[in-house]
Amino acid sequence: MLLKDRVAIVTGGATGIGRAIATKMGEGGASIVVADMNADAAQKTAAELTASGIKAAAVATDVTDKAATDRMARTALDRFGRIDILVNNAGIAGAPGWNQRSESTEDDWVKTYQVNVLGTVNAANSVIPHMKAERHGKIVNLSSIAGREGRPSLPHYSASKAAVISYTQSLANELAKFNINVNAICPGLLWTPMWEQVGGRYARDNAAYKGLSPRQVFDAMIAERIPNGREQTPEDIGDAAVFLASEDARNITGQALNVDGGFFMR
């Protein structure tokens, strides 16, 4: 119970990695606010968490809208009385249709930065005044191994995730004196709807993967790049988030933790 009696907000917490983070944090003893722009999915996830004995609430939140992230913070305070943890998980890989295109458009750059970068800043700014007043807090930002090294595919996404690492370091410096820790997680290769689309794009655009199914591209990349030969799971990311949000990580701040089976060793 690393997070006993803590209150955690998870943006994009309705599905995928965010849902696993919310579940792991709830199992670790935290009360959970599921903040997602998909209001129905957020309600469903919060109801499932509640049914499994975790205190949970849902709030419809588009992180690109500061008024919405302020409402998100207010919901946590109204329902659970405090905010100890913010997980900035909401993220996108591009503007609608990104997986059909071989080149990034201006819309891909703008939409991706609005959600992945500005959305992270908005949610952080909505909880920081409360955390400062309490002189206590943990912020965990979802970056990606794509943010570790610019790659030809999805440059707008790689750049946005590199910006998340840089912002994590700036904020960690600024907030350390308030006893607020800020760290990032860089997930590796997870078989999610996002990766299924990435795999399809690789098979179309990259000669090395021509003719493969998205799953075959995924398996080939694991064989080529991951020393331990294992794909990562949303639960792996949840475990890392629980640790970084716990007091066991009180002397860790400004870091970006690769959860990638050794894909990147820096």
Ligand X SMILES: NC(=O)c1ccc[n+]([C@@H]2O[C@H](COP(=O)([O-])OP(=O)(O)OC[C@H]3O[C@@H](n4cnc5c(N)ncnc54)[C@H](O)[C@@H]3O)[C@@H](O)[C@H]2O)c1
* Site residues, ligand X (CB under 6 A): 11-12, 14-18, 36-38, 41, 61-64, 89-92, 115, 119, 142, 144, 187, 190, 192-195
Q: Are 9 and 87 in contact (CB under 8 A)?
A: yes
φ/ψ region of 135 (left if φ > 0, alpha if ψ in -120 to 50, else beta) reads: left
How far, in Å, CA of 245 to CA of 30, rounded? 10
- Written in H, E and C, the secondary structure of 34-70 is EEECCHHHHHHHHHHHHHCCCCEEEEECCCCCHHHHH
State CA 76 to chain mean position distance. Answer: 19
CB of 75 vs ligand X, minimal distance in Å = 14
Is the CB of 72 or the CB of 249 nearer to ligand X?
72
Active-site annotation holder among 113, 157, 167, 202:
157
CB of 166 vs ligand X, minimal distance in Å = 16
Q: Is 157 a catalytic residue?
A: yes
- Written in H, E and C, the secondary structure of 75-119 is HHHHHHCCCCEEEECCCCCCCCCHHHCCCCCHHHHHHHHHHHHHH
Is the CB of 105 or the CB of 179 nearer to ligand X?
105
CB of 140 vs ligand X, minimal distance in Å = 11
Is the CB of 179 or the CB of 255 nearer to ligand X?
255
CB of 167 vs ligand X, minimal distance in Å = 13
Is the CB of 5 or the CB of 259 nearer to ligand X?
259
Q: Enumerate the active-site residues.
A: 157
